[in-house]
Every structure is written in structure tokens, then in C-alpha cells.
Amino acid sequence: MDIADLNELWDRVTGTQPRPETWLVLATAALALAAVLPFGVWRWTRNTITIAHEGGHGLIALLAGRQLSGIRLHSDTSGLTVSRGKPTGPGMVLTAVAGYPAPSLLGLAGAALLSAGRTTALLWGATGLLLALLVMVRNAYGVLTVVLTCASFVLVSWLTEPDVQAAFAYLVVWFLLLGGVRPVFELHGRRRRRHRGGQGAGSDADQLAGLTGVPAWVWLILFHVVTLASLSGGARWLLDG
């Protein structure tokens, strides 16, 4: 690949693409909603949200100076991120708090890129993040899930027309924004049914309560605020352009 090819590639990534028609933006929003609301569909699509959730834990752990040991993604859509370092303190708190907001914040960042016409940058950026995550995945199911997700971005980026790329990008961003909201409500429901026991115990909110002394319900409210605010802001960017 010569300099001219590299320049062309760079221009393609950093350039802007036309905004799709409003009907396509609304159609992708409807498709994303259909992938989040029905439980039979959600049990499969939730894997993508788990990838973002655990990736959020891992990224913040590294930024906080912790040593990331590995990430595991399971077929029941649960996940586990293991990092080494001081078991208490700001670094551990930031790592624990990062999971639930991560999909919504990624969706918000994606909406900002799409509103600026940066469809290709979004697709390539997502591919890079998935490849970085793949290095840290430590189980076969997790590797398969990340590889398939990454492959979908690569294939769409290289083999499809701009209209298809835009539709795919908008669908992904809508799904992150909408899908980031549901797990927090699910956690809230589990805690309400089994207060600090059963499935509620050991959640990120409980871990944060143990680390900070701030009640778990306060952290749940924080998760709700971040995910719902991201959905509101991201939707405005996507619809207004």
C-alpha cells in the first residue's frame, strides 16, 4: 500500500457521509426496539450489551492503573471482568461503576459521530475497540461472540454501499442506547424482589455499596440517570442530525 492509498484510506475514515433519510433513522430505531423489548429476542441480543458492559469495566480498570487479568463472556449473557490492584479506593470504585453506563455512553458517543456525518469513523472505531477487547477475552464463548460481532462491522465497512453502512451504524447506536437502559431496570427488579439476596447480591451496585458505604439504591439511581439521559440526548442527536 503506497502513500496515495494510505491518504485515500485516511480521508475515507475521517471524512463525512450524507445523513440518511428520516424514515431510515426511524426504521432502525424501531428495529432496535424490537431487539430489546421481547424477552425471546433480548436473551440473544443482550450478548452485545454484555460485551459493552464488560468492556467498560476493562477500559476503566486500565485507565485507573489496575492490571486487567481477563474478561469472560457467558452464554447466559452474564460476564466477568477480573483486574488486579488495590481492592479499595477510587480505582476500584471507578472500575465497578463503569459497567452499566458503558453501553449507553458508547451509544451517546456513536450518536454524536453520526450527527456529525462520521459513519465510517464510527464503524472503524467500533472495530478497533472490539479487537482490543478480544485480546483480553479468556473463554471460548466470549472469543466467538466478540469475533462474530467484530466480523459484522468489518464486512459492513468493506463490502456494502454507504446506505447500508449508515443503516447498520444507526441500528447499532439505537440498540446501544435502548439496550443500555433495560439491564438497569432488570437489576432494579431483581433487587426489589430479593433485597440484598439471591440474584441481587453481588451486583455492581452491591459491590459499590461495600466499597463506598453509599447504599446500593443510590448507585442504581445513578445508573438510571446516566442511561436514560444518554438515551434522551442520543435520540435527539440521531433525529435532529
The DSSP code sequence of 179-220 is: HTTHHHHHHHHHHHHSTTSTTSTTSHHHHHHHHHS--HHHHH
Nearest Cα neighbor of 182 from 33, 36, 57, 55 is 36
Residue 4 lies in a domain: no
User: What is the 8-class DSSP label of residue 101?
Assistant: H
Residue with cell 492509498: 5
Residue 156 lies in a domain: yes
pLDDT digits (tens, 9 = 90+) for 27-56: 999 999 999 999 999 999 999 999 999 999
CA dist list (Å): 209 to 97, 120, 212, 213: 11, 40, 5, 5
How many domains does the chain contain in total?
1
Residue 12 lies in a domain: no
Q: In whole angstroms, what is the distance from residue 25 CA to residue 19 CA?
A: 9
Average pLDDT estimate for 127-145: 96
What pLDDT does residue 200 have? 46
Residue 8 lies in a domain: no
Average pLDDT estimate for 138-167: 95
pLDDT digits (tens, 9 = 90+) for 69-126: 999 999 999 999 999 999 899 999 999 999 999 999 999 999 999 999 999 999 999 9
Residue 14 lies in a domain: no
Q: Which residues contact 168 (CB under 8 A, 6 or more apart)?
A: 123, 152, 156, 160
pLDDT band of 147, cuts 50, 70, 90:
very high
Residue 231 lies in a domain: yes
Q: What are 68's strand-pairing partners?
A: 83
pLDDT at 235 over 60: yes
What pLDDT does residue 84 have? 92
pLDDT band of 4, cuts 50, 70, 90:
low
Nearest Cα neighbor of 104 from 241, 233, 220, 200 is 233
pLDDT at 2 over 90: no
- Higher pLDDT: 164 or 241? It is 164
Q: In whole angstroms, what is the distance from residue 220 CA to residue 225 CA?
A: 9
Residue 7 lies in a domain: no
The residue segments making up the domain with residue 184 are 19-240
Name the 3-class secondary structure at 138: coil
pLDDT at 7 over 90: no
pLDDT digits (tens, 9 = 90+) for 164-210: 999 999 999 999 999 999 999 999 888 877 665 444 457 899 999 99
CA dist list (Å): 13 to 60, 114, 196: 26, 13, 47
Q: Give the rounded distance of the alpha carbon of 183 from its chain centre.
A: 12
What pLDDT does residue 3 have? 60
Q: Are 146 and 130 in contact (CB under 8 A)?
A: yes
Residue 35 lies in a domain: yes
